[in-house]
């Protein structure tokens, strides 16, 4: 890649890394994994930067790449885990009260990956239905049905954690 393209690439991404990282954290719930997801996405985008930079909506394209990296990771189930030569020590179980966030994140992780992405983009990143549809590559109607279906599953799993009366999307 020519030097000016590389400079343009860095100048584009450097200020956007925090928001891309936040997007990935909202998707996967883990800052370390989020780093891996964004690292994979920006590396891929480097190899295609000459064409990617011509996209009509570059920011949306980049967000979609991050979501694709997340979905790709989930498809491979247990990938992106950096292993060590020896097993690390594990903390003993201490009987700490369960963090509500862990409960919700665990429930979210039980949903199909694309449904997780839809809910995270809608309610954690506050993106409108049409934009979510473009990012995950489906129709707005599908986003709505996936949202409804996903929320219903979440409410069921969370049980008492969900507020009485529930809600619609």
- Applying the rule CB under 8 A, the residues between 40 and 79 that interact with another protein are 40, 42-44, 46-47, 68-69, 72-74, 76-79
Whose CA is closest to 26, among 104, 141, 78?
A: 104
The interface mask with another protein, positions 21-40, x = CB under 8 A, is xx--xx--x-x--xx--xxx
CB of 95 to another protein, least distance (A): 18
Rg (CA), the chain: 18
Which lies closer to another protein via its Cβ, residue 95 or residue 100? 100
According to the 3-state scheme, what is the secondary structure of 127-161? CCHHHHHHHHCCCHHHHHHHHHHHHHHHHHHHHHH
DSSP category for residue 19 = H
Question: x-or-dash pattern for another protein, window 91-130, by CB under 8 A?
Answer: ---------xx--xx--xxx---x----x---xx------
């Amino acid at each position: 890649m020519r030097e000016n393209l590389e400079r343009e690439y860095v100048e584009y991404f450097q200020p956007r890394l925090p928001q891309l990282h936040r997007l990935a954290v909202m998707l996967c719930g883990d800052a370390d994994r989020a780093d891996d997801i964004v690292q994979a996405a920006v590396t891929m985008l480097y190899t295609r930067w000459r064409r990617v930079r011509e996209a009509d909506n570059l920011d949306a394209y980049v967000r979609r790449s991050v979501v694709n990296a997340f979905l790709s990771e989930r498809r491979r189930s247990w990938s992106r885990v950096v292993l060590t030569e020896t097993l690390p020590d594990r903390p003993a179980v201490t009987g700490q009260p369960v963090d509500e966030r862990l409960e919700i994140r665990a429930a979210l992780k039980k949903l199909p990956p694309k449904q997780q992405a839809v809910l995270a983009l809608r309610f954690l990143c506050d993106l409108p239905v049409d934009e979510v549809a473009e990012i995950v590559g489906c129709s707005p109607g599908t986003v709505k049905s996936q949202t409804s279906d996903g929320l219903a599953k979440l409410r069921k799993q969370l049980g008492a954690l969900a507020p009485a009366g529930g809600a619609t999307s």
